[in-house]
Amino acid sequence: DNFELKHGLLTLVQNKQFYGLDKEDTHAHIHYFNKITSTLKFPDVLNTSIKLLLFPFSLEGAARIWLEKEPPQSILNWDDLISKFINQFFPPSKTTSLRNEITNFQQRFDETLSEACDRFKNLLRACPHHGFLELRHLDTFYNALNSKDQDSLNSAAGGNFLDKIPCDYLSIIERKSKVCYSRDKPVVARAPAYQAPAPQTQGVLKEDFSAYVKANDAVMKNMQTQEIVLFIVDSGCSKYMIGNLKLLINFVENFLGTVKFVNDQIAPILGYGDLVQGAVTIKRVYYVEGLNHNLISVSQFCDADLEVAFRKSTCYIRDLKGNNLLTGSRGTDLYSIKLQDTNSPNLICLMAKATSSQAWLWHHRLSHLNFNTINLLSKNDILVGLPKLKFIKDHLCSFYELGKAKRKSFHTKLTSSSKRRLQLLHMDLCGPMRVASINGKRYVLVIVDDYSRYTWTYFLRSKDETPEVLIDFLRLVQRGL
């Protein structure tokens, strides 16, 4: 059915067009576009169909050219369009590069505190889905400053700057960055003879600085532990998801689609890896850019043959024997688990469930090996190339059915089919053999008399010799009669 889009709506979409420039934010553009189109409703028309029709009007320049060059059948729905759009203008490699710039940020020698603060904020704006916590931002910024500005922040904080809560962090930095003393800017050019030397701040003692470094390392270690171990148990989450890339090992960078949050914000899934915390190993954890809380999937626990039980203030993850592997606690309305708090003396490996096609593909590749052994190979990382998944046997193998099928035997005849010798003959031609005989024979012709069970055997070089041998055989038996 046809439906009409009003000119005012097209104007609203075109007011904020995306040109495909390096400094443009793809996720912000999608968020703005979804906000405009979410309220549109037409009878018997899906909202995603409206978005597909409107989205090209929100593009211009290089972005519009890219969309027009896409093959006609490459974009079939709204999810396909969003995935291709993000992968084109904000690929995983760009995110990784911007994350590295944030992590390795350093104050320049000729840069004031205010200028360094502005430059760091610009880096964060350029990569809005960096996945770092706010505490991580401030800690990175503080450690990137020179000792003079660090001492200035400590003085303004009335102690160790890193001991303050986040709201105090921001107020102190904003207050100090607005005050621009002449001493904040190092002298690069040579001053005239009549100019008085700029006042110098008192240096920090080496002993005090060493003590600060040790204290800061302790704070960072504690921060990292709190960031690593806390996971929220989510019954609505279909996969294990994490927002901190540094917690994953064996990471595979691959765009796997997008995740839509409750607030309609969309975040990309940039790959997956393994999470190792103490005695717990979780295989195939998705890295979702911009995810602020690590999520553990209840359905994935169940697929791993584990039981999830919720009580008033605690939750338990148990195996099929009833042993508690993990224990979580309830905070307000959420249940969370610290992986290091496991009471199990043995290593725990939680693997994602393989699809049915993956499971049977590896079953066939491994010569119909039983699934328990395949899971053992995957868990212990014995076989190179075997994915770290849990393989489930969801039906009987068709080759097993053929191999174990039994045919009902024929009943013994009371009377024989043949009444005399040579009345009924059975013949079979076998070959070609892989290895020829000494005389070069590769075929075997066997003739059996049904009445006497007398057998004749002939060796042939090729199959076309069969008619001639049969004629000679019939002459032989006729002379014998």
CATH of the domain at 325: 2.40.70.10
Contacts of 43 (CB under 8 A, 6+ apart): none
> Phi/psi of residue 287, each to 5°?
-95, 110
**What's the pLDDT score for residue 274?**
84
Do residues 173 and 247 share a domain?
no
**What's the pLDDT score for residue 3?**
53
Q: Which of 259, 291, 264 is nearest to 34 (CA)?
A: 264
Question: What is the DSSP track for 390-428?
Answer: E----S--HHHHHHT--PPPPPPPSS-S-SSTTSSEEEE
Q: Are 311 and 276 in contact (CB under 8 A)?
A: no
For residue 158, is it within any domain? yes
Among 352, 375, 393, which residue terminates a domain? 352
> Phi/psi of residue 270, each to 5°?
-95, 0
For residue 190, is it within any domain? no
By residue range, what is the domain housing residue 363?
Answer: 354-403
Do residues 170 and 245 share a domain?
no
CATH of the domain at 451: 3.30.420.10
Do residues 153 and 212 share a domain?
yes
Alpha helices by DSSP H, listed for 55-160, are 62-69, 78-89, 92-103, 113-126, 134-144, 147-157
**What's the pLDDT score for residue 403?**
78
Q: Are 255 and 79 in contact (CB under 8 A)?
A: no
Alpha-carbon distance 472 to 465, whole Å?
A: 11
Separate counts of helices (H) and strands (E) for the chain: 16, 16
Residues lower than pLDDT 50 in the chain: 1, 180-206, 208-209, 212-213, 216-217, 219-228, 345, 347
Q: Sheet containing 455-460: which strands, arranged edge to edge?
A: 425-430, 443-449, 455-460
Do residues 307 and 372 share a domain?
no
For residue 420, is it within any domain? no
Do residues 469 and 450 share a domain?
yes
For residue 419, is it within any domain? no
For residue 200, is it within any domain? no
C-beta atoms surrounding 284 within 10 Å:
22
Do residues 359 and 435 share a domain?
no
For residue 199, is it within any domain? no
Helical packing angle, 92-103 and 113-126, nearest 10°:
160
> Phi/psi of residue 338, each to 5°?
-105, 115
Among 168, 193, 226, which residue terminates a domain? 226
Q: Are strands 280-288 and 241-242 parallel, antiparallel or unpaired?
A: parallel
For residue 411, is it within any domain? no
Residue 184 is which amino acid?
A: D
C-beta atoms surrounding 289 within 10 Å:
24
Among 63, 90, 117, which residue terminates a domain? 90
Do residues 233 and 334 share a domain?
yes
Alpha-carbon distance 113 to 453, whole Å?
A: 106
Do residues 326 and 241 share a domain?
yes
Do residues 247 and 332 share a domain?
yes
Q: How far is CA 19 from CA 14, 26, 31, 56, 345, in A?
A: 11, 10, 16, 11, 56
Alpha-carbon distance 234 to 242, whole Å?
A: 12
Do residues 244 and 335 share a domain?
yes
Q: Which of 62, 77, 12 is nearest to 40 (CA)?
A: 12
Give Rg (Cα) of the chain: 37
For residue 378, is it within any domain? yes
Question: What is the DSSP track for 18-64?
Answer: B---TT--HHHHHHHHHHHHTT--BTTB-HHHHHHHHGGGGB-THHH
**What's the pLDDT score for residue 215?**
53
**What's the pLDDT score for residue 444?**
95
Q: Are 271 and 287 in contact (CB under 8 A)?
A: yes
Q: Which regions of 212-288 does DSSP assign to beta strands (E)?
A: 230-234, 241-242, 248-260, 266-277, 280-288
Do residues 114 and 215 share a domain?
yes
3-state secondary structure of 249: strand
Do residues 114 and 69 share a domain?
no
- How many separate domains does the chain show? 5
